[in-house]
A and B are shown apart, each in its own frame.
Chain A
Amino acid sequence: MARARKASPKKAPRRAKPAPKRTAASAPRLPKLAVWKFASCDGCQLSLLDCEDELLAVAGKIQIANFMEATRAVVDGPYDLSLVEGSITTPHDAERIQEVRRTSKFLVTIGACATAGGIQALRNFADVEEFTRAVYATPAYISTLKTSTPIAAHVRVDYELRGCPINKAQLVEVLSAFLHRRRPNVPDQSVCVECKLRGNVCVAVAHGTPCLGPVTHAGCGAICPSFDRGCYGCYGPKERANPAGLRPWLGRHGLDAGAVRRVFGTFNVGSDAFKQEHEAHG
């Protein structure tokens, strides 16, 4: 869709033509994009870097004002659009997200950590102090919260983009939509819809493979079922997911209660529907 405008090396060198001088007064103000990291693995930010061709297309249209994964150059806020990766796990981050919100016109959270608390939200079901005692030689130096929570639990969020990691095509779609003030095409339906649009044969029905597709939010393009694997829910619950209704069928396809607990206890365990199903199995 988005086509890169690369300078063709075959072209003759451009004739020296003086570029129109831009003064502070006449230059159009470019929208400022900032990318912020909280508790996360950086994978979602890397999805943005992975949009190489698409970013070239947009390089003249936006100013990348704060993106530590890409450049040390930082432009002060306020920012037109902030992409926030990661969950809130420390008192310091709980304060920092307030500042990000204050300096951002639009705040979009990206990835399972920012939208659901991430895999680190498993701490919400356990004793964090016990972990710190077991892991660190001097636990007293560790300042951490008892929970890992999504950004929306702390500040107002304008848009949430799901996935672990997010899909780069969806990220470009969200950026395009915000830049051009239109609604992003990011349906909250099941992964099954993506399978059927691709013409995939259902791995659950035809192979008896346990698959979370029916309860999982679309967006990945049904990658796992396209390679003969069951969906493991890394985009979190679809709207009105019904994991309890799927339970007997996961059992029929070979998952015992412990396994069901584990498949719902991953990157999106902090989201309501998956949390409930995780807890329902011991």
Chain B
Amino acid sequence: MSKHASPTLPAPVLWTRGDMDRFFETLRKEGYQPVGPTLRDGAIVYDTLSSTRDLPVGWGDEQEPGAYRLRKRGDEALFGYVVGPQSWKQYLFPPRRKLWSADRAAGGLEFKPSAEAPPKYAFIGVRGCELHALQVQDKAFLEGPYADPYYRAVREGSLVVAVNCGTSAATCFCASMGTGPKVERGFDLALTELLDGGQRFVVEAGSARGAKFVDELSPQAAAPEDLAEAARVVERTAATLRRKVEPGGLRELLARNLEHPRWDEVASRCQTCANCTLVCPTCFCSTVEDVSDLTGEHAERWRRWDSCFTFDHSYLHGGAVRASAMSRYRQWLTHKFGTWHDQFGVSGCVGCGRCISWCPVGIDVTEELAAIRANDLGKDGEHAHP
């Protein structure tokens, strides 16, 4: 992570495909478990990687609201895809995790906290939007009086290998959220894959931990023309971004439009299925389930992902606070783009576009925000909601 950065980081170097293979071997020797992009079931998911051969070599993706398709690129690119249905949160904040168990013992209950030690991950291929998502989730899991020890252990033990995006999807809007496509900070190593004139990687260290790998592998320093080409890769990607969110005054815009008719319109399409929140790399809501077995001798408490789109999420004694689809969608969008600023001092959206692609009915947050802005109820709307 960036806090390990030292002022004397090595100059960027150039790796070949062979160096990438050696890098994976070094990771294993250093006790890291590489996790990153790989092909499964018609998508690029994140899973354990044993070598560069597990990467989606030569594969890219096409995304539209409610649609994702793999496509052959016609080259051997390792990072020629955009982002898929999963994010790094599945490693830091696992979908299900046992918190403790209890057994009946003489004189009462015997509690056993869940104390599994997480692996030392190497996150391979973290994009600009995703680096920002990690920093957004850090605020929820590491700051304040109740830090999450498991999250902290994974975060501090992991090596973050970022990648500058060489391509974008139609659903990306990172530039307007200020999160990409260039990776700026929060990485141990950052790669830029160059494909014109032979496959090679410009590698930059962002921390002392990352610098160690640059020094150990010690290939050639990157030439000025390679660095210039790496800069052009990101510029070209930025130029392809089609979607955007107008960021100015979003928080205030949403706060004064709580009674906007668009909420009812989007609710007529919304499935309240929770897909958007589960694919979102910053959504952090969970619930706990207490279970006991039939004998009544053994009980466990599990934490699992939850979503503000479920009825149970806002259930208090006697009923749910947000029973309607309208109130759930409004809660999510106004939190993500508005009240997140009040809570954490940043936007909850990093512009990765996952919620757009993986919504089964193609609801597009950028379109919803634009619709509200286009018909702003104005300052008076602020008083329409108690």
Contacts and interface: CB of A to CB of B under 8 A. Distances in A.
Interface in A1-43: 1-3, 5
Interface stretch (A70-78, A144-152, A189-197): A189-197
B273 A193 contact: yes
Interface string A241-257: 11011101100000000
Interface string A212-251: 0111000000000000100000000011111011101100
B305 A201 contact: no
B59 to A, nearest CB: 13
A249 B66 contact: yes
A269 interface: no
B222 interface: no
B271 A245 contact: yes
A207 B42 contact: yes
A242 B69 CA distance: 26
Contacts of A1: 291, 293, 298, 300
B292 A199 contact: no
Interface stretch (B234-242, B340-348, B355-363): B355-363
Contacts of B296: 61, 176, 179-180
Contact of A58 (B274, B291, B295, B300): B295
A222 to B, nearest CB: 12
Contact of A240 (B40, B45, B311, B357): B311
B360 A172 contact: no
A246 B360 contact: yes
B312 interface: yes
B157 interface: no
Nearest to A197: B95
Contacts of B359: 205
A179 B292 CA distance: 10
A210 B95 CA distance: 25
Contacts of B358: 202, 205
Contact of A196 (B270, B271, B275, B312): B275
Contact of A206 (B41, B268, B269, B293): B41
A207 B278 CA distance: 19
A193 B294 contact: no
B312 A201 contact: no
Contacts of A248: 361
Interface in A46-94: 54, 57-58, 61
B231 interface: no
A2 B293 contact: yes
Contact of B293 (A176, A185, A208, A211): A176
Given A196-B279, A240-B325, A214 B67 contact: no
B294 A2 contact: yes
Given A190-B272, A196-B279, A205-B66, A176 B360 contact: no
Contacts of A245: 268-271, 361
B48 interface: no
Interface residues of B, number: 49
Given A189-B311, A199-B86, A176 B278 contact: no
A208 B67 contact: yes
B207 interface: no
Contacts of A175: 294
A82 B312 CA distance: 26
Interface string B54-75: 0000000000001111000000
B85 interface: yes
B294 A228 contact: no
A214 B293 contact: no
Given A173-B291, A180-B292, A206 B360 contact: no
Interface string B340-384: 000000000000000001111110000000000000000000000
B85 A61 contact: no
Contacts of A190: 271-274
Contact of B291 (A176, A187, A189, A242): A176
Contact of B68 (A61, A206, A249): A206
B45 A57 contact: no
A205 B362 CA distance: 9
A4 to B, nearest CB: 10
Contacts of A215: 271, 273
A205 B312 contact: no
Contacts of A207: 42
B40 A57 contact: no
A242 B272 contact: yes
Contact of A205 (B86, B310, B357): B357
Contacts of B290: 182, 185
B156 interface: no
B310 A199 contact: no
B16 to A, nearest CB: 32
A213 B323 CA distance: 20
Given A190-B274, A201-B45, A3 B312 contact: no
A201 B40 contact: yes
13 contacts: A3-B293, A57-B295, A188-B311, A199-B90, A202-B360, A205-B359, A205-B360, A215-B273, A239-B311, A240-B311, A240-B323, A242-B271, A245-B269
Interface of B: 40-43, 45, 66-69, 85-86, 90, 95-96, 268-275, 278-279, 289-296, 298, 300, 304-305, 307, 310-312, 323-325, 357-362
Nearest 9 CB-CB pairings of A with B: A214-B271, A196-B278, A214-B273, A2-B293, A190-B273, A201-B41, A58-B294, A192-B273, A201-B43
